[in-house]
Amino acid sequence: MPLRFRALAGVLFAIAVPASAQDMKLTYPETRKTDLVETRFGAAVADPYRWLENDVRTDPEVADWVQRQDAQTRGYFATLSQRDWFAARIKALMDYERFGLPVKAGKRYFYTRNSGLQNQSQLFVRDRIDGAARLLLDPNAWARDGATALADWEPSLSGKLLAYAVQDGGSDWRSIRVMDVRSGKVLADEIKWAKFTAIAWVGDKGFLYSRFPEPQPGQAFQQLNKNQEIRFHRIGTPQSADELVYATPADPELGHVAQVTHDGRWAVITTSRGTDSKHAVHLIRLGARKGWAAVPLIDKLEHDWRLIEGIGDTLYFATNQSAPRLKVVKFDMAGTRPGPQMVEVVAERSETLDRAQIVGERLILSYLKDAASTAEVVSLDGKPVQRIELNAIGTAAGFTGRPGDPETFYSFSSFAQPSAIYRYDSRTGASTAFALPRLTFNPADYAVEQRFYASKDGTKVPLFLVRKKALVGKPLPTLLYGYGGFDVSLTPGFSATRMAWLEAGGAFAMANLRGGGEYGKAWHDAGRLHNKQNVFDDFIAAGEYLIAQGITAKDGLAIQGGSNGGLLVGAVVNQRPDLFAAANAAVGVMDMLRFDRFTAGRYWVDDYGYPDREADFRVLRSYSPYHNIRAGVDYPAVLVTTADTDDRVVPGHSFKYAAALQAAPLGPKPRLIRIETRAGHGAGKPTDKAVAEGADVLAFLAQWSGLAVSGTAVHETAGKAER
């Protein structure tokens, strides 16, 4: 590829000139195409690559297709000159000591730590806050390839025992083990087939967890997840003896998660049908062991109910009942009137309540104001005490604690600031540093700003924008990221991969699309079901805004999204292929007519609708990425990424979509698929795989959006890191 060089702010950048069609012509691996066509609600629906839905572990033809596709893609990556630079920078940017939020149990403090480039973070414990750290668990020794991870973990309230979940190869399935903390001995207890579960200790005698029935042989990564149960495991007994606590066999699509209040008085079971924030709540009064009968507190799936804490017979919740941006309420379970009475503690505000915790004698409330964090402390009856100063556009997380103990921990991060952890006293309001990252770059070199742009229908949508201060005012290759669904709020956070893009001279933008939770229930509702097109319109409008404002050139815009965001990328590339230079659709939901037939897909009908209902079908058919590829139109360069062990969004979605892209005449730019092995939807991915994937994706996007870094820039950046 020919290069033009120009100097920006004293650093020499090579601006890639897109290659000609002849230079980049690819011959894709052959994919068998069938003549499968189904008639649904009077419409003919072709599905020529349905055979690619089969499990790569059991179907030799699919396995062969995967091998041939991935070999071509990785061969293509080897031709990208900037790939090695991105790999080196991502690796260097990840090479710093980082900590997870500490959890206090009894007098002990539990936390994760990664020395920098370990594939998996280790779990440590201290017997006091300033005590010596003792290694409890090292997942790096669990698998030769580093792909077996420590997932959820929870110490018992006394800190004597630790239950921890093991995740293998990125799967959503979990095995739960138990350790004696004092001796470090792993007990014989082992729980299998846990998924989408919390670990809720009942004293030191055992814990509540959620599980599904064991899948049929060979179906663990594709079979629909139904009939979730809550069971109680007593320490020292086999899983076969675990007591069934709560289940709904008459309604197998309901899912259940159990929590236990810190005083051990109540088990709270939250039930949902899908991903929508509509919950039923059942309570079990613990204590007397005879009979754990679950009684309803909220028996209809109408509103969001999030347990905050219980103090004696008072239970605190956050809810969106008559409060789309949520409020805090409490129930008196010892009242004499018929049924528990709900009392408002903190009214709904203009900001969205993101989280509430009771720490000591205070409520700590975390709000989202235009998708950035604010935090404040109020009394247990809702009276203001003080604000927690964060002093930057960023995300605060944590504040977990318990009644009677004023100590808690929180983290703060931003686009140019890795997570720093602070210890906070809710009684005095004092914050002290617990763990601060050592940086190989200067955050002050980067401008982080928030803008608002108009979508197609005039709705104002927030957009975060990050670039080097020295490059502000110049059009830069720009990476635009979005999600827009499932009530998920995108907030500022650090990513070594994104920082490498910024160091190379690119800009990064993140749009807070409708469908997310940034502005509460109304914002979510405006981007789901029959309103889903609003999400795509918001993202397209973000791209148009970045070009119109001169932030990027018309041929300099790359886009990226994962999972529901992968669907987003696939849909907008079909709708506006002229707008984007390059696209990365990661682990996306690409066949909107069959998503509900695999693993957790059935949950997503709350956001997408039901493919077997005509009105929903017609909406889904109108934007399904797999079904709306526009033959004969020039497309941007497209890189599809997925993993063989993704049992959240099964890889068949990406396989079929990539095959359809390659079969259509879409112009000269490449349409490739990268398939990771021994990895899943993202969680638990080892560091070496994350570095390799990040380098491959950025090199591809850089190649086609016009960003490349010369040897001079590589030398200067490396020198800064060494200094």
pLDDT of 693: 97
pLDDT of 390: 87
Q: Which residues 6+ apart lie within 8 Å of 659 measured at CB?
A: 31, 49, 52
Are 715 and 115 in contact by the 8 Å Cβ rule? The answer is no
Instruction: Give the residue-averaged pLDDT of 33-43.
Output: 97
Q: Which residue among the candidates 279, 524, 627, 681 is catalytic per the annotation?
A: 681
Q: What is the DSSP letter of 393?
A: S
The burial of 715, by beta-carbon neighbours within 10 Å (0-12 exposed, 13-18 middle, 19 or more buried), is given as: exposed
What are the tens digits of pLDDT across the range 394-410?
999 999 999 999 999 99
pLDDT of 15 over the 70 cut:
no
d(CA 446, CA 460): 25
Least confidently predicted of 159-173, 233-247, 324-338: 324-338
pLDDT of 291: 72
391 — pLDDT class (breaks 50, 70, 90) = confident
pLDDT of 337: 59
pLDDT of 708: 83
* Secondary structure (DSSP) of 150-163: EEEEEE-TTSSEEE
What are the tens digits of pLDDT across the range 259-314?
999 999 999 999 999 899 999 999 999 975 567 889 999 999 999 999 999 999 99
9 — pLDDT class (breaks 50, 70, 90) = very low
What are the tens digits of pLDDT across the range 514-568?
999 999 999 999 999 999 999 999 999 999 999 999 999 999 999 999 999 999 9
pLDDT of 714 over the 60 cut:
no
Quote the radius of gyration of the chain (alpha carbons, Å).
26
Q: What tokens appear for 82 in the block?
A: 């900037």
What are the tens digits of pLDDT across the range 249-262?
999 999 999 999 99
The burial of 392, by beta-carbon neighbours within 10 Å (0-12 exposed, 13-18 middle, 19 or more buried), is given as: middle
For 244, the 3-state DSSP assignment is strand
Are 59 and 49 in contact by the 8 Å Cβ rule? The answer is no
Percentages helix, strand, coil for the chain (3-state, rounded to 5) are 25, 35, 40
d(CA 76, CA 73): 5
pLDDT of 709 over the 90 cut:
no
pLDDT of 20 over the 60 cut:
no
Residues of the chain with pLDDT > 90, as a percent, come to 87
Q: To the nearest whole number, what is the mean pLDDT of the chain? A: 92
For 124, the 3-state DSSP assignment is strand
Instruction: Give the residue-averaged pLDDT of 444-454.
Output: 97
Instruction: Give the residue-averaged pLDDT of 406-425.
Output: 96
Are 710 and 14 in contact by the 8 Å Cβ rule? The answer is yes
> Could you tell me which of 472, 414, 418, 417 has the C-alpha nearest to residue 447?
472
Residue 563 falls in the annotated catalytic set: yes
d(CA 89, CA 506): 14
The burial of 331, by beta-carbon neighbours within 10 Å (0-12 exposed, 13-18 middle, 19 or more buried), is given as: buried
d(CA 90, CA 495): 9
pLDDT of 4: 32
pLDDT of 524: 97
Q: Which residue among the candidates 563, 624, 705, 710 is catalytic per the annotation?
A: 563
pLDDT of 683: 83
pTM of the model: 0.92
Instruction: Give the residue-averaged pLDDT of 586-598.
Output: 97
Pairing of strands 478-481, 557-562: parallel
From first CA to last CA, the distance across the chain in angstroms is 33
Pairing of strands 557-562, 582-586: parallel
pLDDT of 691 over the 80 cut:
yes
What are the tens digits of pLDDT across the range 83-132?
999 999 999 999 999 999 999 999 999 999 999 999 999 999 999 999 99
Q: Dihedral sign for Cα 80, 81, 82, 85, please.
A: positive
CB atoms within 10 A of CB 428: 9
The burial of 23, by beta-carbon neighbours within 10 Å (0-12 exposed, 13-18 middle, 19 or more buried), is given as: exposed
Residue 681 falls in the annotated catalytic set: yes
The burial of 659, by beta-carbon neighbours within 10 Å (0-12 exposed, 13-18 middle, 19 or more buried), is given as: buried
pLDDT of 14: 37
Pairing of strands 200-202, 395-402: unpaired
